[in-house]
Amino acid sequence: MKNYKSNIALTLSLVLVLMTSCKAVDNANNKQKGGVIGATGGALLGAIIGNNVGSGNNSELGAVIGGVVGGGAGVLIGNKMDKQAQEIEQEIPGATVERVDDGIVLTFDEQSGVYFDTEKYNVNSKSQETLNKLASVFSEYPETNILVVGHTDSSGNDAYNMTLSKNRAEAVTNYLMAKGLSSGRFTTHWFGEEQPMYDNTTAEGRSKNRRVNIAIVPNETMVKDAEKEAGTN
C-alpha cells in the first residue's frame, strides 16, 4: 500500500507540536475533553497540522486526541484502526492514509477529491464524492471520534485566512454530519495560514495548503471495551 504508513519517523519528529499557536487553539467550536497532551498525542497532532510554528501549549487539541493505549488493549484497538485505515485507502486511493499512534490521519488533495479553490470553502462535487465514501466507512466504525482541521495558503491577511480555514473545516464537518454521522463524534479546529505543509511561494504549494486534514481516534467506548476484553480494566 503506497500511501498506508506506520511512519515511525513521523512519530518521533512531530513531538515539536507541543509548541504551537495560542490563537489557533482558541478556535475550537466543539466540546473539549480534559487531559494534557503528551509526546504521543503530539505526534498525531503534528501529522494533521504539518509544520509547527509559533509558541503556546496545545493541550486543548491534544486532549481530544488523547494518548496511546498500551498492552493488550492497545493491540486490539490497533487492529480495529488498521482495518478502518485499509478500508479508507481502498475507497479513496488518492488520499494519504497514515496510521500514527492509536489514530488515523487523512490528507486530501485534488487527486483524492477534497480540495478548495482560492478563497473558497464550498464542498464541490468531486469533494462530495470522496466524502460520501468516507462517511460510509465512518458509519461502520461508530466507536471512533473524528477531528477535522482546516487550513489555508498564505494569500490574504491573517484574520481573513483564520475565518476561511474555519469555514472549510466546518463545511466538511457539516457535510459528513448530514450523511447521518453523530455530531458528538466531531471536533472541528482551524489554523488559518499558520501551519503550512507545503511551500507557499509556489502555486502548487499554495494549492496543497488549501486543505482540510482529518484524524480518526478511538472513543472512550472503544478503549473501555478493549481494556475489558484484554483484562486490563
Query: What pLDDT digit, counting tens, does each position of 12-24 carry?
Result: 233 223 223 333 3
- CA–CA distance, 230 with 233 (Å, rounded to integer): 8
Identify the residue whose cell numbers are 462517511: 135
CATH class of 4-230: alpha beta
Closest of 105, 143, 100 to residue 229, by C-alpha: 143
Predicted local confidence at residue 12, as pLDDT: 29
With contact defined as beta carbons under 8 Å apart, do 67 and 40 qualify?
A: yes
Residues in the chain: 233
Please state the φ and ψ torsions of residue 29, each to the nearest 5 degrees: -120, 0
pLDDT digits (tens, 9 = 90+) for 123-150: 999 899 999 999 999 999 999 999 999 9
Percent pLDDT > 70 in the chain is 73
**Predicted TM-score (pTM) of this structure:** 0.77
pLDDT digits (tens, 9 = 90+) for 161-184: 999 999 999 999 999 999 999 999
b/e string for 185-207 if b means 16 or more Cβ within 10 A? bbbbbbbbbbbbbbeeeeeeebb
Identify the residue whose cell numbers are 464541490: 124
Is residue 30's pLDDT more than 50?
no
